[in-house]
Amino acid sequence: MLNRFFLLVAFCLQLPAAFCQSVDRYTIIPKPTQLDPRAGEFIISQATTIMAPIGQGDLKAVVDTFVHHINRSTGLTIAVKNTNKVALTGNLIEFSPLSDSTLGAEGYRIDVTDKVVTIEANTPNGFFYATQTLYQLLPPTVLAHRFIVPATNLTTLAIPACHITDIPRYGYRGMHLDVSRHFFPVSYIKKYLDVMALHKFNTFHWHLTDDQGWRIEIKKYPKLTQVGSKRRETIVGHYDDYDPQVFDGKPYGGFYTQDDVREVIRYAATKHINVVPEIELPGHALAALAAYPELACSPGPYQVATKWGVFNDVFCPTEKTFSFLQDVLTEIIDLFPSKYIHIGGDECPKTVWRQSTFCQQLIKREKLKNESSLQSYFIKRIDKFVTSKGRRIIGWDEILEGGLSPNATVMSWRGIKGGVQAARQRHDVIMTPGTFCYLDHYQGDPAQEPTAFGGSLPLDKVYSYNPTPVELNATEATHILGVQANIWTEYIDTHDQLEYMLWPRAAALAEVGWTSLSLKNYDDFTRRLSTHFERLNALNVNYARTLYDAAFTSQPTTDGKIQVSLSASKQVPIIRYTTDGGIPSGESAQYTQPIVLEKSTTIRTASFLNSKPLSQLGKIRKEYLISKATGKSYTLLNPPSSGRPDKNYSLTDGVVGGMGGYEVAGVVAFANDINAVIDLGQPQSVETVRIGFLKYTARNICLPKQVDISVSDDGKTFRPALSAKTNAAEGGKRGFVRLPFSFEPTTARYVRIIARNVGRVPAGLRNPGKAAQLMVDEIEIR
């Protein structure tokens, strides 16, 4: 690889300067197996001839789609012909089938000169992926759905000369979509498939049923959609945003008819995407139980879930339940041609089964060890039925519990352990661990990002993933079929938000699944993303620009100011900022050295390439508080909790805490009272103390019941300044509450603050009687 790089550099030195920018001519995602650049380019014009062989309908369909797209976006009227190549003088694009075992079923070759583009592959799949690469070799505007004069200059519709040989690393490259929590119509599913195809994903995992909605028509059981597709309302905000929880009071529903499903499957086939349906069992079944409560272990009634989480009510393993599920799966199998049927198997609480006389008798009769073995019994019966229909099941890695069904493929989501275990048992595995593949997690600072489930999964971490665990030997590793991006939609209710969460992280995972491990390079990937974002713009696809967000680091100075440093990725040449609350523009101050703050302010940043904004303008902000306490040392007479300790006097560092999802940053936690003595360094006048407490009562974090403030000249003898009752029982929306405490001006060097913990969560809140905590992010003294 190194020799090839030096050859390319040497070659580049002999070429015109424009060609020496070769890295900017080939911005393909996922990166091809081999790309050899050349000088020159092929110009597509009205004179271009596109040739495809007669009698290969599947290939002709690929070519026709490619030509239709080019014509639609450029205004050209090129036709596909079966032309004798020998009679042509040039400007030819030729699709040429071959039989080459080295390319496999999805590989292809593209050879581009100034006169001829030759595309070779063994199968229509290979040709289809070749056309996705051709789109990415052309200007991004060719992906637009219509021609806008004069947006495309036909004289520059050029394919840079090169030779490409490309073969995917894995045969399974999937994207998942949960339509149960929030429903997305067929029109949008098609758009979802379009963007998948551009990135060479080949499997769409359609999560159709869950506690919050049953989304697919089953003819034999009409109440599944009449009842199970509708919930009476939906929780507002994040699961723990409010105490008590708040609901919107609006009925929510939606489902796909069987004709809708057929339409999606037909459309996906044109994109060479297999559709894998998921019918959840034995857990995540509330929507089905609301429709048919006789399938539960107790009579109910049940309702479609209106909030998120895992529920104890699951399918009961009776013969009635198995007959129901077999009927449902029969209709699913009749609809979906997929080799695989996903049956869920995850997050199935055993509480009801433990309490059920029937289940306990079944465990004894079948000589099962426990309720986990009962789940295995359940899955094995479903596996046997699906296998009898000529299909195979996929299940989440919980199906390993109690013994793995003989024909099951495991989708490993709780880390890689389940995947390793299954592969060692010679079972096929699809890797989708939450730490790398769950795109409903935050990709930037949670305090700056739209509401997400929780956790942190930045772009570089997604890209770093290697789906084949290093602990597997060569034989075991063959059972790793591939990788999948998962997107759960509890907190995603619009198309724009869905796309924001997916892209560009799904593009990174596309490269994980397609590109050889030795060829991956994150800096190179992010360089290619700049052009790729223009393609997404042409497709009207939203995406996150977190890659370009500035990062903040700060430290107090000895004279009570705050020095703030900004940094960003290698792809960001210019950071601009404001300190007056305004949105940065191309005229705002350019960051060149640390910013020194003398008063409380909010810094807002934006990244630029020349005058072009790269990041979302005004999105990134950080609040800093400066007071007489800033940068001052203190003594904590009660130690903080080990889980959220004090770091470098973080209560007086001037940095405001942040929160998003389940994540809280910049706080210090106390299981008992807060008892802090702040040394101001010298005697001075003080009259106000303001403390930033976190109120997060759904997590047992309460405001204090009382705050006592005293002052001292020597740090030993303190005189009272104020004692104030506070409302520890305050619930409502979580957030930072900055409580001010004012008293008669007095001169002192030391200020002692005692915030008294209420001890137990007060009545009226979500968890009354639980041990309460105090959390603080910043103390100001004025």
Same domain (yes/no): 602, 664: no
Classify burial at 106, counting beta carbons within 10 Å of its beta carbon; exposed 0-12, middle 13-18, buried 19 or more.
buried
- What CATH number corresponds to the domain at position 577? 2.60.40
Stretches where the chain sits below pLDDT 50 are 1-21, 151-155
d(CA 290, CA 286): 6
Residue 460 in contact with residue 509, Cβ under 8 Å? no
Domain boundary among 518, 538, 558: 538
- Rounded CA-CA distance 379/409 in Å is 12
Contact between 723 and 708 (Cβ < 8 Å):
yes
Q: Is residue 112 a part of any domain in this protein?
A: yes
- At 116 the three-state DSSP class reads strand
| Inter-helix orientation angle 371-388/319-335, to 10° | 40
How far, rounded to the nearest angstrom, does the alpha carbon of residue 148 sit from its chain's CA centroid?
33
Q: Is residue 466 part of a domain?
A: yes
Q: Are both 147 and 248 inside the same structural domain?
A: no
Could you tell me if residue 104 is inside a domain?
yes
Asked if 608 and 654 sit in the same domain, the reply is: no
Token pair recorded at residue 405: 């069904």
The verdict on 481 and 611 lying in the same domain is no
- Regarding whether 610 and 727 lie in a shared domain, the answer is no
Cα–Cα distance between 694 and 659 in angstroms, integer? 10
Q: Coil, strand, or helix at residue 624? A: strand
Whether 599 and 656 map to the same domain: the answer is no
Together in a domain, 67 and 50? yes
Task: Note whether residue 629 is domain-resident.
Answer: no
Query: How many independent structural domains does the chain possess?
Result: 4
How many Å is the Cα radius of gyration of the chain? 30
Residue 610 sits in which domain range? Answer: 546-623
- CATH of residue 685's domain is 2.60.120.1190
Q: Rounded to an integer, what distance in angstroms lies between the CA atom of residue 56 and that of residue 48?
A: 22
* The pLDDT of residue 85: 58
d(CA 43, CA 45): 6
Q: Are residues 39 and 147 in the same domain?
A: yes
Do residue 380 and residue 519 come from a single domain? yes
Asked if 727 and 604 sit in the same domain, the reply is: no
Point out the domain boundary residue: 166, 193, 212.
Answer: 166
| H or E element at residue 677 | strand 674-695
pLDDT computed for residue 69 by the predictor: 92
CATH code, 109 = 3.30.379.10
* Same domain for 588 and 517: no
In 3D, which of 741, 735, 742 has the Cα closest to residue 693?
735
End-to-end CA distance of the chain: 63
Last residue of a domain, one of 603, 623, 643: 623
Q: Is residue 764 part of a domain?
A: yes
CB 456 within 8 A of CB 543: no
Q: Are the beta carbons of 105 and 126 closer than 8 angstroms?
A: yes
pLDDT digits 0-9 by tens, 654-669: 999 999 888 899 999 9
Q: What is the CATH number of the domain that holds 407?
A: 3.20.20.80
Q: Are 686 and 758 in contact (CB under 8 A)?
A: no
- Shared-domain flag, residues 161 and 274: no
Per-residue CA distances from 78 to 50, 82, 110, 621 (Å): 8, 13, 20, 50
Joined tokens for residue 65? 């789609």
Q: Known catalytic residues?
A: 347
